[in-house]
Chain A
Amino acid sequence: MKYALLIYNNEAARPDPASPQGQAVYEAYAAFTEEITAADVNRGGEALHDTTTATTVRIRDEELVVTDGPFAETKEQLGGFYLVEAPDLDRAIAIAGKIPGAKYGSIEVRPVIDLG
């Protein structure tokens, strides 16, 4: 059985990655990743750019509807996620539009931070 652990935090309060606090957070996450990897329970995960870079995709009346911003409806909750490779946002949106849930729910498209 797999669990998706979705990390919610206050973006406005996030420390600058270059600051000592930011470094401390980074190191704490690195240690956690190492720990779950050593325990062989790590099945993947990514750090996301903040929600100002998010795009929400829906299919309504068979039309692809694209809007700026994250998904922010409290009636529906995050039910899963895919990690996909795409050359640009248009391709990522096209893939998001094919997810079955786009027809009745919404898909939030968030770029993944390249830590490599």
Chain B
Amino acid sequence: MTEPSAAIEAVFREEHGLVLSNLIRTFGDIELAEDALQDACLAALVAWVDEIPRRPGAWLTVTARRKAIDRLRRSATLRRKYETIAAGQPAAITDDRGPDTVLIDDRLRLIFTCCHPALSPDARVALTAKTVGGLTTAEVARAFLVPEPTMAQRLVRAKRKIRTANIPYAVPDDTDLPERLSAVLAVIYVIYTEGHNATSGADVVRAELTAEAIRLATIVDQLLPNEPEVMGLLALMHLQEARRPARTDDHGDLVLLPDQDRSRWDHARIADAVDLLDRALRRGVPGPYQIQAAINAIHAQAVDAAATDWAQIAVLYTRLAHLTPSPVVELNRAIAVAMAHGPAAGLRLIDAIDQLDRYPHYHSARAALLRDIGDDAAAVVAYRRALDLTTSEPERRFLAARIAEVRSEGTASRTST
């Protein structure tokens, strides 16, 4: 047999989440559903050689159900499983809501199961990327920089816990929804940032995670429409994606925001994201993702770095710090205040943060402000501290260059007086 054609693989990837979630609802068992879907895909490789059927998802669902029942027949737990299926009224592909609604609801249930707080945060992310996103175990392992056996073990353990602890396969009720939804959004944003921080262009799998995260958030937005934080997260990711082409130079080095070529930003995408964010904010329930998106929108809409409305950004960081207190948010607030109201005001805030001593960006931000108020000696000490802490080679080059600059300025001012 030849390699599966790219067209068939694309169909598998596209249909994976829908078919799998439907099988999980029918059989109540993620592992059985995965095995059956894999059997069905193997059958499809043979059956689809000449032509892909008109409704490939339905073909896979029907075939996988048959394969699952074959597997159950061979297993000792047959009787009990049949009882479960009978009790759960096995899904006809169609019911009165029409075929698509049923399948899509299944996928939303699956997302909530995979992001259940009773699973460890690492397991939630891996399980969502694999079962809903359709990545293979090897791809998920590579994307999250974990050896494949470790990742396989993590996934097996999570699936086992879902089964034995009976984590429900359901969209939570209204009282639990806000908190459970924020767990889902956190998982999606981790998937996004993993991809976004993959600076090496060669690592395609990691970069694909950003597209996957946006796809997941889009699904959640379709299924739970008008949830402001879902819209906020989508807007946030679109705004970051829109600026991505300008984030690295021709050598693959990071380009900081003030130095980016803004003509390389995707301005149509920015406009769409800002529209989406406006619609979210109009619902009057601001949350951390909407605020982060608003900060990104201000950056994305400034014609150049000097035109950035830092006073507004400082206000938004104050609100964000109130909603989700963290030293990193405080650091960003201090930087915004320094840009809006001068380095001395920013330094006062930065010096009040005491949990970031091991965080290189804390020291480099502090160094830049010390330099701005003319305290070159303290600036060099802070830059050196940042240099000692960072593990990134481009950052090391950046910091060494700053230290050299401060030193030469110091020499220049001494010789001129």
Q: CB within 8 Å of B: which residues of A?
A: 49, 52-55, 64, 66-69, 87-90, 93, 109, 111
Contact A90 B176 (CB under 8 A): yes
| Chain B hits for A93, CB < 8 A | 118
| 9-residue interface stretch from B42-50, B130-138, B166-174, B204-212 | B166-174
Which of A55, A64, A67 contacts B165, CB < 8 Å?
A55
Give the number of residues in B that approach A within 8 Å (Cβ atoms). 18
Alpha-carbon gap, A52 to B158, bound state (A): 9
Given contacts A53-B160, A68-B120, contact A90 B165 (CB under 8 A): no
Alpha-carbon gap, A93 to B167, bound state (A): 10
Given contacts A52-B157, A53-B161, contact A89 B166 (CB under 8 A): yes
Which of B120, B166, B168 neighbours the largest number of chain A CB atoms within 10 Å of its CB?
Answer: B166
| Chain B hits for A87, CB < 8 A | 166, 168
| Chain A hits for B170, CB < 8 A | 90
Given contacts A68-B123, A90-B172, A90-B176, contact A53 B117 (CB under 8 A): no
Mark B145-181 against chain A: 1 for CB-CB distance below 8 A, else 0.
0000000000001001100111110101000100100
Contact B161 A52 (CB under 8 A): yes
**Interface residue B119 (Cβ < 8 Å from any Cβ of A):** yes
Contact B166 A68 (CB under 8 A): no
Mark B251-265 against chain A: 1 for CB-CB distance below 8 A, else 0.
000000000000000
Q: Could you tell me the distance in whole angstroms from the C-beta of B218 to the nearest C-beta in chain A? A: 26
| Chain A hits for B176, CB < 8 A | 90
| Chain A hits for B123, CB < 8 A | 68
- For B166, give the chain A residue with the smallest CB separation: A88
Which of A68, A90, A109, A111 contacts B119, CB < 8 Å?
A68
Q: CB within 8 Å of A: which residues of B?
A: 116-120, 123, 157, 160-161, 164-168, 170, 172, 176, 179
Alpha-carbon gap, A35 to B20, bound state (A): 48
Which of A88, A90, A93, A109 neighbours the largest number of chain B CB atoms within 10 Å of its CB?
Answer: A90
Given contacts A90-B172, A90-B176, contact A53 B120 (CB under 8 A): no
Between A and B, 19 residue pairs with Cβ closer than 8 Å are A49-B164, A52-B157, A52-B160, A53-B160, A54-B165, A55-B165, A68-B117, A68-B123, A69-B120, A87-B166, A87-B168, A89-B118, A89-B166, A89-B168, A90-B167, A90-B170, A90-B172, A93-B118, A109-B165
Alpha-carbon gap, A49 to B165, bound state (A): 9
| Chain B hits for A111, CB < 8 A | 164-166
Contact A88 B120 (CB under 8 A): no
| Chain A hits for B166, CB < 8 A | 87-89, 111
Q: Could you tell me the distance in whole angstroms from the C-beta of B396 to the nearest C-beta in chain A? A: 37
| Chain B hits for A49, CB < 8 A | 164-165
Q: Could you tell me the distance in whole angstroms from the C-beta of A93 to the nearest C-beta in chain B? A: 7
Alpha-carbon gap, A4 to B129, bound state (A): 43
| Chain B hits for A69, CB < 8 A | 120
Alpha-carbon gap, A68 to B154, bound state (A): 13
Q: Could you tell me the distance in whole angstroms from the C-beta of A65 to the nearest C-beta in chain B? A: 8
Contact B117 A66 (CB under 8 A): yes
Contact A67 B160 (CB under 8 A): no
| In the A-B complex, the 9 residue pairs with the closest CB atoms | A66-B117, A88-B168, A55-B118, A68-B120, A53-B164, A88-B166, A89-B167, A53-B165, A89-B165
Alpha-carbon gap, A88 to B113, bound state (A): 12
Alpha-carbon gap, A54 to B119, bound state (A): 9
- For B158, give the chain A residue with the smallest CB separation: A68
| Chain A hits for B179, CB < 8 A | 64
